[in-house]
Amino acid sequence: NAGVTQTPKFRILKIGQSMTLQCTQDMNHNYMYWYRQDPGMGLKLIYYSVGAGITDKGEVPNGYNVSRSTTEDFPLRLELAAPSQTSVYFCASRQTVDNQPQHFGDGTRLSIL
């Protein structure tokens, strides 16, 4: 029972580099989300998707892009990495049924140096 799987778990990037954080879920959830968590803070929504081919911005989308070509996968792309993007990134998914909780992956710890 894999749930939400994020890769990689850790990554160090140099300023200006790009990378893609992978997220896949095996629960056939339509709704998927990307959050970032800065040290000592709560989670902030970056992007979300309500189904394949449909994405929308959250609270802090600048510097990121997403795509959703399949129900299972929701990758997050960082272009031109900046130190301000050093954070822990969480992917989550949820059933379409109302009031269901979001299920989170284990997170990706990203450092930009």
Partner 1 sequence: AQKITQTQPGMFVQEKEAVTLDCTYDTSDPSYGLFWYKQPSSGEMIFLIYQGSYDQQNATEGRYSLNFQKARKSANLVISASQLGDSAMYFCAMREGFQGAQKLVFGQGTRLTINP
Site residues, partner 1 (CB under 8 A): 31, 33, 40-45, 48, 50, 56, 58, 88, 90, 92, 94, 98-99, 101-104, 106-107, 109
The phi and psi torsions of 111 (rounded to 5 degrees) equal -120, 135
Nearer to partner 1, 17 or 67 (CB): 67
Tokens 């056939």 correspond to 28
If the CB atoms of residues 66 and 107 are measured against partner 1, the closer one turns out to be 107
We find the least distance from the C-beta atom of residue 80 to partner 1, in angstroms, to be: 26
Whose Cβ is closer to partner 1: residue 71's or residue 94's? Answer: 94
Residue 43 C-beta: closest distance to partner 1, Å: 5
Q: How far is the CB of 104 from partner 1 (least distance, A)?
A: 4
Q: How far apart are CA 58 and CA 49, in angstroms?
A: 10
Residue with tokens 């990495």: 81
Nearer to partner 1, 81 or 107 (CB): 107
Shortest distance, CB of residue 34 to partner 1, whole angstroms?
A: 11
Strands 108-112 and 10-13: parallel
Q: How far apart are CA 80 and CA 17, in angstroms?
A: 5
As a whole number of angstroms, the distance between CA 11 and CA 16 comes to: 14
